[in-house]
Structure 1
Amino acid sequence: MLTLRRFLCVVFGFSVLLACFGCPQKSGVPSIDQTPAYQRVGDSEAESLAAHLSTRLQGLRSWTALRPALEDSLGYILRRPQNAVCVNRPGLELTWAQLGDSVAELIGLLPQLDRNPRLVAERFQWLKVAPGTLLTGYYEPWLEASLTPDDRFKYPLYGVPEDLKTTNLSNFHYRWKGQSLVYRMGEEGIEPYFDREAIDGKGVLAGRGREIAWAKDPVDIFFLQIQGSGRLVLPDGSVKHILYGGKNGHKYVSLGKLLIERGHVPREEMSMQRIRAFLNANPETAQQLMFENPSYVFFRLSDDGPYGSINSILVPRVSAAVDRTMIPLGSVLALKTLLMDYENGESDPFMSLVLAQDTGGAIKGTRMDLFCGSGEEAETLAGHLQEQSEVFMLVSRRVMEALPHVSE
């Protein structure tokens, strides 16, 4: 075991070795640059896209219904260091102040958009997120639970343990900017925090007073952890929000991917519903399969929610989770995709504005996760949503004109 400082020294030494002796590229074979970037959209294309903007599939009757969520995004932006850069990718560099100016301009434009959505192309530069976006979905699951254990409710939901520690690695070396280390202190130094098997299989947290509720079904808990928040339906019929509190720092392993690789579920049939059906039908192997995902989420109880990473309540089909190193939180995005219409159960073209208000452990690069809402319909949508989509960041033309350094 190591002290924290000695551990970081070892990690840094190993990273230097990888840099010096890593796998060389094959000579004569050009590398394909897939660096995520922003590409300016021409005026005519932007106008054509803007003409199809609609809030119908979001359940909003007017663009003015976006005002509260946009004001939440603007409030988050204004709390950032205004002169600091919020995005620096090929094709676009912005400060928080410039991003805030764009969002504020859109808020002022909302009353006019019902009559003329093309104003979004006239007043904003559209920048396409490249090379493309895989759109997935997440939702707020409901599960039966109790605040006290009994014979029916015996599977614990844990709050953040008191011995779970996190440190900012950029404090130790600039190469680790934006990275953190989750750990616990052992008898002789730091150790990785307990994984799923240790917590749920060996009960290492049992009896330490960190239980905040108990559920009927461990599979319900597993899916709640994947989504990050949900609602507990208590025995008296009351409902309590259960929100994300923290993670144990282990890598997330996709159970769907494991089931495909082992031939249990055909790739074309994969969905959250299919995973749950397999686990329910194979209880003797379900627990061991879940143990293969060592990542573990801890929660907190609340009277409202669910909250995103900007600390505002998520809006169905409006709020989205992004990689904040690619798309800054608070951004306004235009999303072109296919989305289920609840009225007819079929996928319809979707072209509307969404807001970057959340993050997720599996959301990296250009991938985006759309918050689908709460309940069975939202679960169905989120469970099946995997669409190659187009995403455009909207930046005020006034702001863009003041950025001569932005490449075309």
Structure 2
Amino acid sequence: MFEQLDLDEKLCSAVADMGYTNPTSIQSLVIPPAMEGKDILANAPTGTGKTAAFLLPACQFLLDFPRQQPGACRILILTPTRELALQVYEQAVQITKYTDLECGLITGGINYGTDRETLEKNLDILVATPGRLFEHIEKESFDCRDIESLILDEADRMLDMGFSAIVNQIAAEARWRKQSMLFSATLEGPGIARFAKDLLIEPVSIEANPSRKEHAKILQWLHLADDPAHKYALLKNILANQVETAVVFVKTRDRLNQLKQMLERDGFQIIWLQGEMPQDKRISAMAKFKSGDIKILLATDVASRGIDVENISHVINYDLPRTADIYVHRIGRTGRAGKKGIAISIAEAHDMGIIAKIERYTKQRLKRRVIEELRPKHKEAKAPVKHKKPKSAKKKIKKPKKK
């Protein structure tokens, strides 16, 4: 029960309205030390209640130590994408609905007039993307001196997107803060270690092992394609006969536009998300997808972390990702909060190298599936094995014989 975590009854009532009765493992592990004011370094799979894990202790702090005078925001939450920022903001509004706490949102793609209106309020919680917020810091339209808690959501994605320098500058501007929290889908790699060292002081390190109920139940399988035409035929068949709602991933905007035209030509109703898309169009597209008006969403990897929609039945990797960890982030869009999901990859011969890496990374083999009328003609191409070059033997230098 959330009450056992010493949370205010106003917050518990709001959480109950959201349909949650018991905290997830990440919430149980994060909330107590966070409420003690300790810095947090947390790793948790997507879909396990991570957002509430940092929002609830932040809100509790604001209720325990109410604002004494008007001022700028007290809790700053940075997210890598606009979609994720919007979702965190919406959840913050839901959690604070029985309180007087004021929440705001600052992201790229929204006109600066709206930003000014937001920043003129006595904000308690601000959710922002780093680039747009830093513009306001440089213009002196945002003051970091009142920030008491800095929270980084999906820090590994921020690093991937090249935000580390800007985030460090924002953190330096908020150097009077009392607490910092860093959440990431993975804590592996030197980048995250450096990030944590720069931003956190003696953090409590938390790695959540979700219960079977919480853990994503994602069935993963692979269709082999002979060539691009066969690959597209497989996608059409899957979309027409298997999916309820699907996110289809492609590598680039050009690929997205090409696939969009092909699917629309063949009678599919679709929406799409890509980088550098006006915010109003993004919000409109996601609203249609969330409501179920349109069942198929095309996306590039830029948008992959921002998609948090319940009841996505399928994730389809039409283009395989560059790396195995991006694959894991992609398929995390389905199987949310313990619900079953299906992840399908469609691979040509040249994709088998990354398939092998994915199987090693996830420690499971992707099950091969066949659609009878679209059975591949060619056998599976094995990934090339890289043989290490043998170390060259040192040549013995013959010493000249003494005369």
Give the number of the structure whose alpha-carbon radius of gyration is greater.
2
TM-score (norm 1): 0.20
TM-score (norm 2): 0.20
Higher helix fraction (1 or 2): 2
